[in-house]
Structure 1
Amino acid sequence: MNGPEIHVEFASELHVFVPRARRDGTVRAATDGAAGLGHVIESLGVPLTEVGALLVDGREVPVSHVPAAGESVTVRTVARPQRVPGAPLRFLLDVHLGTLARRLRLLGVDTAYESTDIGDPALAARSAAEQRVMLSRDRGLLRRRELWAGAFVYSTRPEEQLRDVLDRFEPELLPWTRCTACNGMLRKASKEEVADQLQQGTHRSYDVFARCGACGRAYWKGAHHEQLEAIVERALALRAERR
């Protein structure tokens, strides 16, 4: 772009997207005199899914605003908790976020997950068709216009990823109600109903079971239950802090 030059200042939370040399102070950016401000911001590396209010010389403007020479732009991050109007809050995660997907399902959050790489166009199309918020660390995917909604996952650590998603969207938590394997709903089941999935020791030691209504997988309070319980307790404690 070789048109009018503007001055852009990004919120500190957005510096992760900006080249290191441009993180201090105001970024000088040339525009073409026709593209909207949203296009300019994305050209500087920041997905619009992460952008909140845009201020031009102190007044709020839409992403379609065409910047004029000399304007000073302030780019704020998305306000939290973020509301996604138009559909019940539900998520779609890409192939790289399997642990996060399982933990969200553990908490009863409607979470679709692609365990294979089906490609950005297919992910964006599913997000739109099912009205799901796309969670990803792929900036290119989050720039696709056909997405219903999206959010960048900032950390590579599952514990921090989960905390960030819960803090940003505040989904309703209904622990132990969804299958962590397929996202189906769980229901109580008798030992006889799930007997074919139980080893002898499990059959002898446990009496309380649940079963997924979609894939049929059986659940009980086995060896890893304490670890899962700790994840649930931390999530509920975080929610209580926000109240």
Structure 2
Amino acid sequence: MERPEIYCEIAPDLRVFMASGRRGGQAALRTDGVSSLGHVVESLGIPLTEVGTLLVDGRPVAPGHVPADRERVSVLGVERPQPLPGPARFLLDVHLGTLARRLRLLGVDAAYENLDIGDPALAARSAAEQRVMLSRDRGLLRRREIWAGAYVYSHRPDEQVKDVLGRFAPPLAPWTRCTACNGLLERADKAQVHDRLHDGTQRSFDVYAQCADCGQVYWRGAHHARLEAIVAEALRDQAGRAGAAAESPS
């Protein structure tokens, strides 16, 4: 018996995942008549975390739909900002340390594994803590046990921050989290933290913050201007997105 043939139209923003010969966005595929549409999409190299709506002959279907012969499938990208079923909390794999620190700088809850603990452990933590798994590893994002996931498209930290903030629009609260451990910062008097400071630092600065979890101390040091620029850009982008949303027709 001849296998069913379906016709797929892939949204432009998803074509980057496809093999170079298929990046025109259109593909006629033979299926086995048993596999789900979600499996078919993943076989094209597209993580389901990046898929928003699946349409079959113009009607929305779930990833578990089993395609029939001659069905026309449209694979659309995720909505931006992407709604989440809970607070915007993230988990980043070992390759995204700079992104984790920048998200924390902006007050975003960003857990980070600085050791390669393996995909099963990362997926289990995502599920247990209900965190969005951020990764450039498509195999990790295909694990069914993750709570939610998102592919980080760029390898450049500046672009990574824009991508995550644009996709999920988490509330920003700069200078409230420890960039080392993700704990919350508290204002600290110089006397409280003097044993953690060098003499030059004690003479030059009077305003400090300390992490309630790991004890790391922060002050406006030599790198503060660069960090201020990162924060200012993120806040401008956030305001721009909010303004665009307010102007768009409902």
The TM-score by the shorter chain falls in which range? over 0.9
Matches of 1:116 and 1:25 in 2, distance apart?
37
Q: Which amino acid aligns with 1:236?
A: L
Q: State the partner residue of 1:36.
A: 36
Matches of 2:39 and 2:127 in 1, distance apart?
21
- Aligned pairs for 1:43-54 (under 5 A) are 43-54=43-54
Matches of 2:24 and 2:88 in 1, distance apart?
36
Matched, 1:172 2:171: yes
Q: Which amino acid aligns with 2:62?
A: P
User: Offset at 1:25?
Assistant: 4.2
User: Offset at 1:209?
Assistant: 0.2
Q: State the partner residue of 2:131.
A: 132
SS in 1 for 2:95: coil
Matches of 2:29 and 2:121 in 1, distance apart?
33
Q: Which amino acid aligns with 2:8?
A: V
Tell me the TM-score normalized by structure 1.
0.97
- Over aligned residues, Cα RMSD in angstroms? 0.9
Native 8 Å contact 2:36 2:66 kept in 1:
yes
Q: Which amino acid aligns with 2:83?
A: R
Query: Any stretches of 5+ residues in structure 2 without a counterpart?
Result: 243-250
Matched, 1:59 2:30: no
Matches of 2:194 and 2:25 in 1, distance apart?
64
Q: State the partner residue of 2:91.
A: 92
Matches of 2:91 and 2:11 in 1, distance apart?
27
Q: State the partner residue of 1:242.
A: 241
Q: Which amino acid aligns with 2:20?
A: R
How many pairs does the alignment contain? 241
Q: Which amino acid aligns with 1:170?
A: A
Q: State the partner residue of 1:23.
A: 23
Matches of 1:219 and 1:96 in 2, distance apart?
25
Q: Which runs of 4+ in 1 moved over 6 A?
A: none
User: Offset at 1:3?
Assistant: 2.3
Q: State the partner residue of 1:121.
A: 120
SS in 1 for 2:7: strand
Query: Any stretches of 5+ residues in structure 1 without a counterpart?
Result: none
- Aligned pairs for 1:81-230 (under 5 A) are 81-85=81-85, 87-230=86-229
Q: Which amino acid aligns with 2:152?
A: V
Matches of 1:20 and 1:174 in 2, distance apart?
41
User: Offset at 1:70?
Assistant: 1.1
Q: State the partner residue of 2:245.
A: none
Q: Which stretch shifts more, 50-59 or 139-148?
A: 50-59
User: Offset at 1:133?
Assistant: 0.2
Q: Which amino acid aligns with 2:5?
A: E
Matches of 2:72 and 2:82 in 1, distance apart?
26
User: Offset at 1:58?
Assistant: 1.4
Q: Which amino acid aligns with 1:14?
A: L
User: Offset at 1:62?
Assistant: 1.2
Distance 1:74 1:177, change over 3 A: same
Matches of 2:64 and 2:25 in 1, distance apart?
24
